[in-house]
Amino acid sequence: MKKRLPAKLLPVLLVFSLAANAALIITRPGKSPAPFNAARTTASQNTATAGARAATPAASLPQLPDNAELATLREKLIAAGIPADIAREVMRAMLWKPLHDRQRAMLEAKNAGKPYWQQTAATKKQLTAAERAELRALSEQIEARAAGFPGDDYTAKAAARYTFLPAGKAAALSQLNRDYGNMHDGIADEISLFRLPSDDTGRKLLRQEHRRDLEAILSPAELAEYDLRHSPAATDLRKRFAALPDSTEAEYKAAFDIAQTLTATKNAPAAQTLAAQQLRDLLGPDRYAAFLRANDNDYTALQGAAARFDIPPATVGQVYGLRDQAVSLSRQIAADKNLSSRDKQQALKTLATQLRKDVRTSLGDEIGNAYLDKNMPWLNTLAAGNTLSTTPTGKITAKPIPKDSKTPGNTGHKQQKPGNKTAKDKGPKKGK
């Protein structure tokens, strides 16, 4: 005989069931690029088809539950003892459900009427431009409704994210960035289907327009604080500073200024070298090395392997240290005057083979082979007969071994003095 659940548990189970659906729905398909102003719309249109940008009539969109229904649901859940924050998540799930259902219907229709051997796993890439536009329009409508829920923490989240701003500006900035995020996402969806040469231009225009709108909202001082926290340069720099737990805000701000110089002088080696030296002086040799490692794919992959397989930190350091060994030894080989260019190329190939063996010895064959398959790409360059160097910012560069020089006029045969003829060259002997 099956036991019946206590009546008080039913609302709780309902909440968790709906919350689970909400987790699926929140991973929503495409966000609507709602135009913030005319220039912004123009920028986004550079990378979109006319059909995708056509406005979807409101009457054609699925009907959303009205605010009164959602408020009644929330009150009943709270009255049943459900915490207010969970009740709000149930409201969100109900609000996003029409979008979830509409997308599922669109995808299921792609296989409708097909025999099983012609059916494929339907994805967003199979949606038409009109279907994607409909989903974006519905997503925009839902987002606007969700932001006004009773007890919604949208304003509080904005204030927490932008603590350096007054509350009003924080809310305006949060809305601005959400609008542009929606547009970038919509363009990315379209580019994933087929890329055009003009796509990069359109994205660049959108970034420029975003920057102009930021400058219109924020004062110069506020914009500088925003850049320190949320600019692309800051995102990269914070990742590196996470590897320096003893860092200070003063160090971060100084490093940010130097990083801006590095970005602005990509094609000026002397300026890059100077900026890199300034970072090294700021952080010190050991911390600068940690700073560089933090953004190196080889190192982050090693860290991931170490976390999964409990590899000791000393082993991680040993394997990553092979990088410096490769650079040093390749330069020694290139400078060896006793080796021909062919001998040097063979020595570099042998060095690459030995380094791969060292990786497998340290990590084990399975982990080592998996690591080498996707990391340390410079080993292939080394094996091809190139000598390695590191840039001031820690990147590995390669240079081919120069060919052996030949002595001018040396053809490999004994040289003869001008006018000195051999017996063969002399004319026939005269008879006596």
Do residues 137 and 99 make contact, with C-beta atoms less than 8 angstroms apart?
no
Do residues 395 and 269 make contact, with C-beta atoms less than 8 angstroms apart?
no
What proportion of the chain, given as a percentage, has pLDDT over 90? 51
Cα 19 to Cα 106: distance, rounded to the nearest angstrom: 23
Q: Say which DSSP state 6 is in.
A: P
Give the CA angle between residues 142, 146, 148 to the nearest 5°: 130
Instruction: State the residue for tokens 């002086």.
Output: 281
The pLDDT of 101-124, averaged and rounded, is 91
Cα 162 to Cα 174: distance, rounded to the nearest angstrom: 8
Higher pLDDT: 319 or 91? It is: 319
Instruction: State the residue for tokens 């056509």.
Output: 54
pLDDT, one tens digit per residue, over 19-78 is 444 333 333 333 333 333 433 444 444 433 333 333 444 446 778 888 888 888 889 999
Do residues 383 and 353 make contact, with C-beta atoms less than 8 angstroms apart?
yes
Query: pLDDT value at position 332?
Result: 96
- Kindly tell me the number of DSSP H helices and DSSP E strands found in the chain: 19, 2
Query: pLDDT value at position 366?
Result: 97
Model pTM score: 0.68
Residues whose CB is less than 8 angstroms from the CB of residue 64 and which lie 6 or more positions away in sequence, other chains included: 95, 98, 141, 142, 145
Query: pLDDT value at position 55?
Result: 41
Tell me the two tokens of residue 414.
């004994």
Mean pLDDT is lowest, of 6-15, 118-127, 340-349, for: 6-15
pLDDT, one tens digit per residue, over 137-168 is 898 888 888 877 765 566 677 778 899 999 88
Residues whose CB is less than 8 angstroms from the CB of residue 335 and which lie 6 or more positions away in sequence, other chains included: none
Confidence grade of residue 269 (pLDDT, cut at 50, 70, 90): confident
Residue 166: Cβ within 10 Å count: 11
Residue 244 phi, psi (nearest 5): -125, 80
Residue 411, pLDDT above cutoff 50: no
Tell me the two tokens of residue 294.
């933090």
What does the mean pLDDT of the chain come to?
A: 81
Query: pLDDT value at position 143?
Result: 83
